[in-house]
Structure 1
């Protein structure tokens, strides 16, 4: 089949998110200007640069995480490990503004080193970020979309020693959780290696 998104797909559910997958989950913790703690998972999240290390998450509209990150200039991207999948999902609840998803999902906080928002204490790893820019992407007609893209530079990295093996972060042990389409998720349970080819060889 072939379809144009503007004309509709005719399927029971939109396949776009299933096609562009798996996507890492940005489990974003923030503190508002008045100190309200927020935690929410974002499936539009990824790294966009290694030097300097930059990550981004995209919010559909002015949700708490994007608003707090933009207002304060800080956020933490917590890694969702296999054992935290259900609590991550619980933290996606549409709680009233000011309600802490940490409490709702029965999660502990741990202080960050270089930013004010805490990290998820149980997370295998966390990236402490300072906002570098906030974007409002445009469509083909030049109109601003509802998406708010928050880009942050990673200024501090926490890794639980339990997930370091021979100096490498063990993604299989952590079971990094990713977002697929529809209601589906996946975890890392197998890793294979391939070296990038060199023309000279």
Structure 2
């Protein structure tokens, strides 16, 4: 089949998010200028640069994570391991401002080293970030979308050493969780390796 997104697809549910998958989950913790703390998962999340290390998340609408990151210019991207999937999902609740998603989901906030937002103590790894850019992307019409993209430079990295194997972060042991679209998720339980070819060989 072929369809143009602007004209509809005729399927029971929009397949777009399922086609662009798996998408890693950025479990974003942030703090507002008034000291309020927020924790929320974002499947529009990824790394976009290694030098310097940059990550981004996109909020579909003005939600607390984007608002707080704009106010204080900091956030933490926590990794979701398989044993945290249910708590991650619980933290996505549309709780009113002032309700702690950490407490609601049964998670432990612990201080970060270089930024104000706390990190999730139970997470296999966490990236402390300082905001470099926030913008609203535009569509073909030139009009801004409802999405808010937040880019941050990673200034500190926490790794639970229980997830290191021979000095490498073990994604299978951590069971990194990703979003597949619809209500579906996946976890890493197997990997395979390939070396990039060199023309000279």
TM tier relative to shorter chain: over 0.9
Count of aligned residue pairs for this structure pair: 201
CA distance in 1, matches of 2:161, 2:199: 38
Q: What secondary structure, in the 3-state scheme, does the structure 2 residue paired with 1:180 have?
A: strand
Give 1:84's aligned residue: 84
* TM-score, normalised relative to structure 1: 0.99
The residue correspondences of 1:32-43 to structure 2 (distance < 5 A) are: 32-43=32-43
Give the drift of 1:41: 0.2
Q: Does 1:161 align with 2:161?
A: yes
Give 1:180's aligned residue: 180
- Note the residue ranges of structure 1 that are not aligned, 5 or more in a row: none
CA distance in 2, matches of 1:145, 1:99: 29
- Note the residue ranges of structure 2 that are not aligned, 5 or more in a row: none
Give the drift of 1:135: 1.2
Give the drift of 1:195: 0.1
CA distance in 1, matches of 2:181, 2:59: 17
Q: Does 1:99 align with 2:131?
A: no
Q: Does 1:66 align with 2:66?
A: yes
Give the drift of 1:179: 0.3
Give the drift of 1:173: 0.2
Q: What secondary structure, in the 3-state scheme, does the structure 1 residue paired with 2:49 have?
A: strand
Give the drift of 1:97: 1.5
Q: Does 1:15 align with 2:15?
A: yes
Give 1:27's aligned residue: 27
Give the drift of 1:100: 1.1
| Dislocated runs of 4+, deviation >2 Å | none
Q: What secondary structure, in the 3-state scheme, does the structure 2 residue paired with 1:104 have?
A: helix
Give the drift of 1:165: 1.0
Give the drift of 1:10: 0.6
CA distance in 1, matches of 2:98, 2:62: 15
RMSD, matched Cα: 0.5
Q: Deviations over 1:114-165 (max 9, x none)?
A: 0000000000000000000001100101000000000000000000010011
Q: Does 1:152 align with 2:152?
A: yes
